[in-house]
Amino acid sequence: MENLKKEMELSNYILMTDQFLLTMTYAKESAYKNEKLSELHCKMLDDAKGLVSKITGGAELCEANLLKPVEKPSIEGLSLYGYALDTIGKAGIENKAGSYTRFFRNMESIIDRSKEGKATEKEIRFLEVFFDKFRDILEDERKALENMEDDD
């Protein structure tokens, strides 16, 4: 039953990632025209930003200074952070931000700029590469859980 719950959670993240990747196609066009995205596309970007915020929470938890408490620690954020680190490694993305907390906050900022049509083509491509590989990793994990259930 626990695996089924995790599978459903991963499936939701995969769907959200698919929607985000589709929206980035429109974001490129909007950036080229220097236009804002539609309300629906902004909602999809907000969902993706929420996902990145959970990852950021996991990063904060791992990088936390013992004297500075983490605002919203969660197991979910920690789990997503693990997938995100795997994504960075497998996609060959370089972390120039110094800390992963800053890295993911920067990603949140790029998503915000995408809504306004102000993200650069390079920033949009960065998001596409990250989320494409992130989706693959989530899908691999979902399939592994599904196979564990079949073996039982």
As a dihedral over the C-alpha atoms of residue 43, residue 104, residue 17, residue 145, rounded to 10 degrees, the angle is -140
Q: What tokens were used for 141?
A: 């994990």
The whole-model pTM stands at 0.88
Question: Domain boundaries in the chain?
Answer: 2-151
Rg of the chain on CA atoms, in Å = 16
Report yes or no: 103 and 95 within 8 Å, Cβ to Cβ: yes
User: How many other CB atoms are there within 10 angstroms of residue 121's CB atom?
Assistant: 11
Report the interhelical angle of 75-91 vs 100-115 (nearest 10°). 90
pLDDT in tens, the chain (152 residues): 678 888 899 999 999 999 999 998 888 887 777 777 889 989 999 999 999 999 998 998 888 755 456 566 678 888 999 999 999 999 999 888 889 999 999 999 999 998 888 888 899 999 999 999 999 999 999 999 888 876 65
